[in-house]
Amino acid sequence: MTATLTVPGARLHYEVRGSGPLVVLLGAPMHAEHFAPLAEHLGSDHTVLTTDPRGINRSSVDDPGQDSTPGLRADDVAHLLSHLAAGPAAVFGSSGGAVTALALATAHPDLVHTVVAHEPPLITMLPDREERRAATEDITATYLAGDPIGAWTKFCALAGIPLPQVQGPPPEQSAQQLADERFWFAHEMRGSSGYEPEIAALRTGPPRIVIGIGHDSTDQLCDHTSRALAAELGIEPVMFPGGHVAFTEIPEAFAGQLRPLLR
C-alpha cells in the first residue's frame, strides 16, 4: 500500500508492505526508496512501514524554510502510527533517522516498544562538540554560498569517510535530488547532528534502546557518536555488517542481524 497523510505542516508519503509484527524503517535524509530492499526482506514476517521524511522526495512541506528537527519528524511518525492504529512498534532508524527514532522513544513512548538506532550522528555526545558544531555550520554556509562540492568535501572530512572517487564528470542530478540535497544541507543536517537526547528518559522509559554500529565504520564520526551514546545509556552497542548505508548495499545480511533485535 502506498498513500499520503496530511500532518501539521506537511504531507507524508508512506508505504506499507508485508504482514506480521510492525517495524518502522526511518532515514533522514534517506527516504522510503532507500529502505525498499531491506523492507522486502523483513516483509516476509513483518508488516513494514517506510516513509519519506518531511521535505524530502515525495513528502512536501507547507513552509520550505522551516527546519526539519528530530522532534518534528518524531511527531510525524507518531501521526502515521496513530493513523494506522498500529502501535506499539519496533523502530529501526539509521543516521538522521536514528535520531528521529530516539526522539520518538522520548516523546511518544507508548507507540514504541523497541528502538534500534543505527549510527546516530550525535555530535552533542562528543567532547569536541563545539568544534564539530562550528564545522557543521561552515558546511551549511559553504553549500548555501553555491559550492556543493566544497560542502561535500568538508562533510566527508567531518564524518571521517573518504570522498567518493568519480571518474569523469559527476553524474547529473535530477531536480528532486538537487532539492533534497539543498533541504538537507539548509534545514535538516544541523538539527539531526545537534540533537541532545534525553538520556534519563531513554534509560528509564518503556522502549528498549539498541545502538547499532557498522563493522566497516570503525573510527568514523558515527562510530564515535554511537559508542558515546551507548556508554551514556549503560549498554553495549550491537555490531552490524557493512558500514553506514549497509542496509542498502547488503540488505539480506543486514536484515539477518536486525530481525532478532525487533522482537
Among 139, 166, 189, where does a domain finish?
189
| Residue 147 shares a structural domain with residue 26 | no
Do 166 and 117 sit in the same domain of this protein? no
Which of 151, 168, 189 is the last residue before a domain boundary?
189
Domain count, the chain: 2
Element (H, E) at 26: strand 22-26
Same domain (yes/no): 27, 56: yes
pTM of the model: 0.97
- Let me know whether 156 and 215 are in one domain: no
Same domain, 143 and 253: no
Asked which of 169, 189, 209 is the last residue of a domain, the reply is 189
**Is residue 97 located within the same domain as residue 223?**
yes
If asked whether residues 99 and 216 sit together in one domain, one would say: yes
Same-domain status, 135 and 123 = no
What string of pLDDT tens digits covers the 263 residues of the chain? 999 999 999 999 999 999 999 999 999 999 999 999 999 999 999 999 999 999 999 999 999 999 999 999 999 999 999 999 987 999 999 999 999 999 999 999 999 999 999 999 999 999 999 999 999 999 999 999 999 999 999 999 999 998 777 677 778 899 999 999 999 999 999 999 999 999 999 999 999 999 999 999 999 999 999 999 999 999 999 999 999 999 999 999 999 999 999 98
**Domain range for residue 84?**
2-127+195-262
Q: Are residues 123 and 137 located together in one domain of the fold?
A: no
Q: Mind giving me the DSSP string for 179-203?
A: HHHHHIIIIIHHHHHT----HHHHH
DSSP run (H or E) holding 4: strand 2-7
Segment (H or E) for 98: helix 96-107
Same domain assignment for residues 102 and 135:
no
Distance CA 110, CA 120 (A): 22
Whether residues 61 and 71 fall in one domain: yes
Give yes or no: residues 61 and 29 share one domain. yes
Query: What are the distances in angstroms from CA 216 to CA 62, 223, 244, 251?
Result: 39, 9, 8, 15
| 147-to-58, 134, 142, 228 alpha-carbon distances in Å | 26, 18, 6, 32
